[in-house]
Amino acid sequence: LVLDQFTELPQNCSWCDDFYKEVKGLLLSPETKSEQKSFYAEVLAISGRLENIKTLVDAIKGAANSDDADVYAEALELAVGKDDIVKYLGEQIDTGNDTLREASVAAITNQGSRLAVELLHDHTVKRGDPDGYYSVGIGLGEVVPEPDAYPVLQGLVTARDQYSHLATKSLLNAGLDGLKIVVDS
């Protein structure tokens, strides 16, 4: 309930800059306990602000140990935001850092926008992995798409290639409207 209060606060919030600066300081402090770091990281992830997402990505890259990296990555998976955040996370999915890559894919999966669908499909094809992270519960096959992504997904379904099943699953996640598109395709 507390975290819901901090989801995408307005950009013109008079106290937000100072608040997020303090949260970042607490998050990165070596004295902060792991449970508290998790909470602070989630506050940053749900902020809808690109600079806070960048802080989490940098924290994953520079984590002193794998436990801290996991805490930051689990929060990053909850990221919400607009296409600027999706685009930035899309730049992170080709990293050699497995923790960062999977957290970025999970965060993009949760967005459902046209851009998110396109990034996930392109990444899956580039990796040559027909499973597309589906077996771990993320990726294109787990997206609940927004209506603006339907045409892209329909095109992927009708391609009838080794990745089409992921687009079909995504459309089915959209409910009745997606089911109609799948049947039409």
**Is the pLDDT reported for residue 3 higher than 70?**
no
Task: Write the DSSP string, 101-147.
Answer: HHHHHHHHHTT-SHHHHHHHHHHHHHHT-TTTTGGGT-SGGG----G
CA–CA separation, 110 and 81 (whole Å)? 10
For the segment 4-16, the average pLDDT, to the nearest whole number, is 77
Instruction: Retrieve residue 136's tokens.
Output: 């771990």
pLDDT in tens, 59-69: 999 998 999 99
pLDDT digits (tens, 9 = 90+) for 71-122: 999 999 999 999 999 999 999 999 899 999 999 999 999 999 999 999 999 9
Percent of the chain with pLDDT over 90: 86
